[in-house]
């Protein structure tokens, strides 16, 4: 298995952050990302970029981090106990975009690299990441485009990659206490190293590079649709599910907090406004119920 090139991964991730910020700011057209660089006392740091109150994006963040330490955190060793006691490096780009318009879905993407090392032993490394889409008012054309872009990114790496990582995404972004998915999925993968370093790295790049191709056309098509208070209230209600997932289940959030990461950057993923209502249910046959009846169901979106 080829040896990992940490410098090449870091250079790619920094370039990816730049390209995503440039594309999303251009599509927004009303605001720019503001950068906030930070250092971690235990080792490493990052640069957080946040766009707020744009023409399209109510709050969006695209973060790069590169942290290291002498002990792997519990969130990383829970499913890999053999890594306990190793030093580690973790680097990645993570982003969440919360648009103003309820007809524009929220999107999330992340690509990351971990390496755990110990004197006298071979390094243990892996890639992870993916992206998923969270609509409030579903659109089949958007879902097909999102998943087709994901499928196309996976194809050079094997016929089994898209269905495998699509299912992983469906299973991972699932709110067990609500018995419902967070959205319409996409791709999710972790612990990827069986392809060897070069091919695994190439796959991570294919996923990272395809995010803008997947999301920006959806933003462009939906950002000017008229909406009112009803749609806005439903968007804020459904954002509550996003908060619940990120604070209860998200592995990246737990990793960041357990490694002493920068709290402001870790919780950047949370929306600026959100609401909960006790035991609320959509009216049958309403546009809101369509989300539950059609879009929050298992689906082969390539055939929908």
Task: Tell me which residues are annotated as active site.
Answer: 108
Eight-class DSSP state of 105? P
For 167, 170, 263, 272, the CA distances from 181, given in Å and listed in that order, are 12, 7, 26, 22
- For residue 221, the tally of other CB atoms under 10 A from its CB is 15
| 193-200 contacts, C-beta under 8 A, 24 or more apart | 193/1, 193/125, 193/126, 193/127, 195/157, 196/1, 196/2, 197/1, 197/2, 197/3, 197/4, 197/5, 197/125, 198/2, 199/157, 200/126, 200/127
Instruction: Give the span between the Cα atoms of 48 and 27, in whole angstroms.
Output: 20
Phi-psi domain of 44 (left: phi exceeds 0; alpha: psi -120 through 50; beta: other): left
């Amino acid at each position: 298995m080829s040896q990992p090139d940490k410098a090449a991964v870091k250079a790619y991730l920094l370039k990816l952050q730049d390209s995503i910020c440039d594309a999303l700011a251009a599509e927004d057209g009303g605001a720019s990302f503001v950068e906030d660089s930070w250092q971690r006392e235990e080792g490493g740091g990052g640069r957080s970029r946040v766009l707020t109150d744009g023409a399209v994006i109510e709050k969006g963040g695209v973060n790069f981090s590169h942290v290291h330490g002498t002990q792997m955190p519990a969130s990383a060793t829970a499913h890999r106990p053999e890594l306990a006691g190793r030093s580690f490096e973790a680097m990645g780009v993570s982003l969440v975009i919360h648009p103003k318009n309820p007809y524009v879905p929220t999107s999330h993407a992340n690509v990351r690299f971990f390496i755990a090392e110990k004197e006298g032993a071979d390094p243990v490394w892996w890639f992870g990441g993916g992206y998923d889409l969270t609509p409030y008012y579903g659109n089949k054309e958007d879902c097909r485009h999102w998943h087709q872009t994901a499928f196309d990114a996976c194809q050079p790496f094997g016929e089994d990659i898209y269905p495998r990582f699509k299912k992983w995404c469906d299973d991972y972004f699932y709110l067990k206490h609500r018995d419902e998915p967070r959205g319409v999925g996409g791709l999710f993968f972790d612990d990827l190293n069986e392809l060897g370093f070069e091919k695994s790295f190439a796959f991570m790049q294919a996923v990272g590079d395809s995010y803008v191709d997947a999301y920006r056309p959806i933003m462009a098509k939906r950002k000017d649709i008229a909406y009112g208070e009803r749609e806005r209230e439903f968007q804020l209600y459904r954002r509550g599910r996003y908060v619940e997932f990120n604070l209860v289940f998200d592995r990246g959030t737990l990793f960041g907090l357990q490694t002493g990461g920068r709290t402001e950057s870790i919780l950047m993923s949370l929306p600026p406004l959100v609401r909960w209502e006790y035991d609320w249910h959509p009216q049958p046959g309403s546009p809101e119920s369509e989300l539950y009846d059609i879009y929050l169901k298992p689906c082969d979106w390539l055939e929908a």
